[in-house]
Amino acid sequence: MAKPKDTYYLTAHCTGSLGTVDVVTRYLREQGCYVVEMQTFDDVVSKHFFIRVEFRPPREQAFDEGGFKSGFESRARNFAMQWQLTATSYRPNVVIMVSKFDHCLNDLLYRYRTGQLAIEIPAIISNHPDLQRLADWHHIPYYHLPVSADNRAEQEAQVLNVIDECEADLVVLARYMQVLSPEMCDTLNGKAINIHHSLLPGFKGAKPYHQAYHKGVKLVGATAHYINNDLDEGPIITQGVEVVDHSHYPEQLTAKGRDIECITLARAVQYHIEQRVFLHNGKTVVFTS
């Protein structure tokens, strides 16, 4: 079912206490706003409360976004509530970083081109020239920024410059096969999503699916997470998994793994841009669709 175009997301979190739901819903009612969707979570371990509301302003008058924010801030302040208001019509700028594997990039570009992902892609950044033609076909600027042990700091500065110039709301590492420096991870904290395979046991190094085949794995999967200084261990947004068996050779495991990576990454991007993800105490709260 298509959603109304004139809706907004109101997301908030604070210490759990009596009245946290009421302060949001009562204010929306007073403003004549209609709640389209609402999700809440009260974390009894951390004693923290999370809420996400999609609402429609009154149709009979223009929505005063500034006035709405000012009025809600005076209410939210009593709960030390951190909150954000986002129009569902807003299309965030997403910069994509990629190396040579093109499956995740292709999938994101398709979803962008067909409108499944309501985003703008102002730039694609790569440490290899291989995917230039794909970017050109989509009329997206392609920045080939080679990286080596000798120029890593300079190259990362160039990457961040592109990200800043594009006013990126989100950076997506669509199989960007480079380890980011701690400084860059800190700079992109909470605004960069990575994707990688998920295998048990966790096969490291080259050809993980070949290693998995020789161990007779029964599950293959993928994990999308926010980046941090722990390699491939940032706060998890989404995961995908499929059952396999002895009849899956390395090439088939690889193909299945790439399919799962595409779906898992796209879902993570979707959740992020729809304001469904909260970062708190090094983990995530995700209100799935």
CATH number at residue 249: 3.40.50.170
C-alpha 1, offset from chain centre = 23
Whole-Å CA distances, 45 to 16, 100, 139? 11, 42, 48
* 115 within 8 A of 95, measured Cβ to Cβ: no
**29: CATH:** 3.30.70.260
Q: Is residue 232 annotated as part of the catalytic site, yes or no?
A: yes
Query: How far, in Å, CA of 174 to CA of 157, rounded?
Result: 19
Residue type, 85: L
Q: Tell me which of 87, 118, 141 is where a domain ends.
A: 87
Whole-Å CA distances, 132 to 34, 129, 144, 240? 46, 6, 8, 29
Residue 128 within a domain:
yes
Residue type, 167: E
Q: Which domain holds residue 120?
A: 94-286
Query: How far, in Å, CA of 147 to CA of 99, rounded?
Result: 11
- The pLDDT of 223-244, averaged and rounded, is 90
| Same domain, yes or no: 175 and 39 | no
Beta bridge partners of 144: 126
Q: Tell me which of 87, 109, 127 is where a domain ends.
A: 87
Question: Over the chain, what is the mean pLDDT?
Answer: 94
- Of the pLDDT bands very low, low, confident and very high (cuts 50, 70, 90), residue 61 is confident
Tally of domains within the chain: 2
| Same domain, yes or no: 258 and 180 | yes
- The pLDDT of 130-143, averaged and rounded, is 97
| Same domain, yes or no: 15 and 131 | no
Query: How far, in Å, CA of 202 to CA of 141, rounded?
Result: 36
Name the helix (H) or strand (E) containing 111.
Answer: helix 103-113
- Of the pLDDT bands very low, low, confident and very high (cuts 50, 70, 90), residue 1 is very low
Which pLDDT score is estimated for 209? 87
Taking phi over 0 as left and psi of -120 to 50 as alpha, with beta for the rest, 186 belongs to alpha
Residue 252 within a domain:
yes
| Same domain, yes or no: 100 and 58 | no
* 15 within 8 A of 48, measured Cβ to Cβ: yes
| Same domain, yes or no: 227 and 260 | yes
% of the chain exceeding 70 in pLDDT: 97
Question: What tens digit of pLDDT does each residue of 95-109 get?
Answer: 999 999 999 999 999
- The pLDDT of 109-119, averaged and rounded, is 97
Q: Which of 64, 232, 245, 259 is catalytic?
A: 232
Q: Tell me which of 44, 60, 87 is where a domain ends.
A: 87
Tell me which DSSP letter residue 2 carries. Answer: P
Going by C-alpha positions, the residue among 215, 222, 170 that lies closest to residue 191 is: 170
Residue 1 within a domain:
no
Question: Which SS3 state, helix, strand or coil, does residue 243 take?
Answer: strand
Residue 214 within a domain:
yes
Token representation of residue 125: 């950044």
| Same domain, yes or no: 12 and 135 | no
Residue 3 within a domain:
no
| Same domain, yes or no: 280 and 137 | yes
| Same domain, yes or no: 83 and 119 | no
Token representation of residue 84: 């954000």
* 269 within 8 A of 237, measured Cβ to Cβ: no
Which pLDDT score is estimated for 60? 76
